[in-house]
């Protein structure tokens, strides 16, 4: 993960503070930051594709750099590409000489190394606002336009009204093939987003707004150490929810927050309350990739602390004023938590006089260094009109005896918001395995409705199917996996299939579909399929498979990811 350092000895005659230049000639073909795709791994199947993903410490495999968020610099780049290949970078200025096939890029503001990003492929664009355009493969562009035209400017304007001017010039978005390993990345001027999210409108809204928020929190002001990632992610999540409240109302924001906090507590249950990764100030041990510390605590526990600070002010608009001053003071620099907290207390001297930083049970130091759940959580009562129907329906299905099927089956999930449906399904997942009668009735009531919904909803229903060994709907699991190439929509299902009695079914699907998966994803799934020591049980899959015989792989121990924590619990935007 870390590579090896390059040490440069400076001439003895060099005077202190004397400017100097170092030229490093190097070649890189492959590495953690650089993802090469054959045409078959793109949507258009026409041209090769390449993108980079630098977060957290991957860009050292892309170019020689001080690969730490504490160091920021401007950069320029010259990129030569074949005709018909569009090249983009996270830069404020760009030019193209068609005769030579050469692109020139320049980022005029200092950024940390992880925010230098490049993408090249069969990409075309359309303007969706006065300072925004969307880039995508030709077959995806109409969908991207229909989803985002006009509304990105609305989000930018709302963010500016809260936190001051947008300083990066353009805010463009590029949709990447399903091999993109995360959901989204806040590269300045050019947000990277996985194309798979296009079909899930509400998740698309939240993901883009979160990346918009990073333009202030993370990109302009950056955490100086990876041990305090919450300074970027917690503040960006808070800002994201202030923006959604301004544009979509408090009820929608509270619903999305309830969904995420549910996931936080699920992760807490899996990891344990004493797990050190639940701290906001995580100790980064030598040799540990900081990306391994990315979890929902970074986002949601960080958000809860920021929300708590805003409540101390009495009015969120007063806290907005503080954050504007914080951005203005520290923009283009990197900070530690004490910088934020000192600035907060200096901005609100009356709170400093009250010693709010050492209020019993809610001490700032405890927020930062205690393991376990947030010390306080936000009041989500403004979302009750959206969350109460979810709670009511869940109780109808999980209260014994099951004599409320008629009432439950009358609920039309197609009229619910996506976050309501996924919150309901996640809670059913938490309660799985369910009694056979319950899963049978659930399928009768909702399976056909869910078939027409987006992938975020369908994958959760299919996980319920798998965790309950509900054979009549297993063909839908096969159909879903045959049409998915994205990590976020394949790994959770393979994890669940291999945890239960359906490993041979999973193996069969994998061997039929592996050629359409990126090698990195293929390797991860192979590791999941190889886990375990117990012999595979003999199961009857004739009701759920095609005529292709099942393929059995001997179990062996491997250094695989921990299947006990499914990706649905930890999959978050960068």
pLDDT of residue 424: 98
pLDDT digit string, tens, across residues 43-61 = 999 999 999 999 999 999 9
- Residue range 154-209, pLDDT digits in tens: 999 999 999 999 999 999 999 999 999 999 999 999 999 999 999 999 999 999 99
The Cα–Cα gap between 311 and 20 comes to 49
Work out the end-to-end distance of the chain between its first and last CA atoms, rounded to an integer number of angstroms: 18
Yes or no: say if 179 and 524 are a contact pair by the CB < 8 Å rule.
no
**C-alpha span between 86 and 109 (Å, rounded):** 24
The CATH architecture assigned to 34-215 reads: 2-Layer Sandwich (3.30)
- Residues contacting 239, CB < 8 A, separation 6+: 159, 162, 163, 213, 216, 217, 323
The domain ranges of the chain are 34-215, 222-379, 383-531
Closest CA to 63 of 129, 17, 6, 104: 6
Question: In sequence order, what are the residues at sequence separation of 6 or more whose Cβ sits closer than 8 angstroms to the Cβ of residue 124?
Answer: 86, 135, 136, 137, 138, 141
For the packed helices 230-248 and 201-214, what is the interaxial angle rounded to 10 degrees? 120
Residues 6+ apart with CB under 8 A from 270: 564, 565, 569
> Which of the 8 DSSP states describes residue 434?
P
CA-to-CA distance for 376 and 553, rounded, in angstroms? Answer: 48
The CATH architecture annotation of domain 383-531 reads Alpha Horseshoe (1.25)
User: What gap in Å lies between CA 397 and CA 439, rounded to an integer?
Assistant: 9
pLDDT digits (tens, 9 = 90+) for 529-554: 998 534 433 334 333 333 333 333 33
The tens digit of pLDDT for each residue in 69-124 reads 999 999 999 999 999 999 999 999 999 999 999 999 999 999 999 999 999 999 99
- For the stretch 559-572, pLDDT in tens is 333 333 333 343 33
Could you tell me which residues are annotated as the binding site for Zn(2+)?
210, 214, 233
Q: How far is CA 399 from CA 35, 402, 405, in A?
A: 49, 6, 11
Q: Tell me the sheet residues that pair with 96.
A: 103
Q: How far apart are CA 294 and CA 574, in angstroms?
A: 8
φ, ψ for residue 132, nearest 5 deg = -140, 140
d(CA 51, CA 185): 12
Pick the CATH number of 222-379 from 1.20.210.10, 2.40.50.100, 3.65.10.10, 1.10.390.10: 1.10.390.10
The pTM of this model reads: 0.92
Annotated catalytic residues are 211, 299
The dihedrals phi and psi of 256, each to the nearest 5 degrees, come to -65, -40
């Amino acid at each position: 993960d870390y590579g090896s350092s390059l040490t440069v000895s400076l001439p003895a005659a060099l005077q202190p503070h004397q400017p100097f230049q170092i030229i490093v000639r190097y070649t890189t073909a492959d590495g953690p930051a650089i993802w090469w795709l054959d045409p078959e791994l793109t949507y258009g199947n026409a041209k090769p594709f390449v993108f980079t993903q630098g977060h957290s410490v991957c860009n050292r495999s892309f170019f020689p750099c001080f690969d730490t968020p504490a160091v920021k610099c401007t950069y320029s780049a010259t990129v030569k590409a074949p005709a018909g290949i569009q090249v983009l970078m996270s830069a404020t200025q760009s030019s193209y000489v068609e005769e030579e096939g050469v692109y020139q890029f320049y980022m005029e503001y200092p950024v940390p190394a992880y925010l230098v990003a490049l993408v090249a492929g069969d990409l075309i664009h359309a303007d969706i606002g006065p300072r925004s355009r969307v880039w995508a493969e030709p077959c995806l562009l109409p969908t991207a336009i229909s989803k985002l035209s006009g509304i990105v400017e609305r989000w930018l304007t709302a963010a500016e009204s809260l936190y001051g001017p947008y300083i990066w010039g353009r805010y463009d978005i590029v949709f990447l093939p399903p091999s993109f390993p995360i959901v989204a990345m806040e590269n300045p001027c050019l947000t990277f987003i996985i194309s798979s999210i296009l079909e899930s409108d509400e998740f698309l809204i939240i993901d883009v707004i979160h990346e918009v928020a990073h333009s202030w929190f993370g990109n302009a002001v950056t955490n100086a150490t990876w041990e305090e990632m919450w300074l970027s992610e917690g503040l960006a999540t808070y800002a994201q929810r202030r923006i959604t409240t301004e544009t979509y109302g408090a009820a929608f924001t509270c619903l999305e927050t309830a969904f995420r906090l549910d996931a936080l507590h699920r992760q807490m249950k899996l990891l344990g309350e004493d797990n050190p990764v639940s701290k906001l100030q995580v100790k980064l041990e030598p040799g540990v990739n900081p990306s391994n510390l990315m979890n929902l605590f970074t986002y949601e526990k960080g958000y809860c602390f920021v929300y708590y600070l805003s409540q101390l002010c009495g009015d969120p608009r007063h806290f907005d004023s503080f954050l504007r001053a914080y951005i203005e003071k520290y923009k283009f620099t990197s900070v530690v938590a004490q910088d934020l907290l000192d600035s907060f207390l200096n901005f609100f001297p009356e709170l400093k006089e009250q010693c709010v930083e050492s209020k019993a049970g809610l001490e700032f130091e405890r927020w930062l260094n205690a393991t376990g759940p947030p010390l306080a959580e936000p009041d989500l009562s403004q979302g009750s009109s959206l969350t109460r129907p979810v709670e009511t329906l869940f109780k109808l299905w999980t209260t014994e005896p099951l004599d409320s099927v008629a009432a439950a089956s009358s609920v039309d999930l197609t009229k619910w918001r996506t976050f309501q449906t996924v919150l309901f399904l996640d809670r059913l997942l938490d309660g799985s395995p369910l009694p056979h009668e319950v899963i049978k009735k659930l399928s009768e009531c909702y399976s056909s409705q869910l078939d027409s919904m987006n992938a975020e909803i369908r994958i959760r229903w299919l996980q319920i199917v798998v965790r309950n060994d509900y054979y009549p709907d297993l063909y839908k699991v096969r159909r879903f996996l045959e049409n998915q190439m994205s990590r976020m929509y394949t790994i959770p299902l393979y994890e669940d299939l291999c945890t239960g009695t359906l490993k041979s079914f999973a193996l069969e699907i994998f061997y039929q579909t592996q050629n359409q998966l990126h090698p990195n994803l293929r390797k991860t799934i192979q590791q999941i399929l190889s886990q375990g020591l117990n012999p595979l049980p003999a199961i009857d899959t004739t009701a759920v498979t095609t005529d292709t015989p099942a393929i059995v792989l001997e179990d062996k121990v491997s250094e695989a990811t921990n299947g006990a924590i499914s990706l649905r619990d930890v999959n978050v935007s960068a």
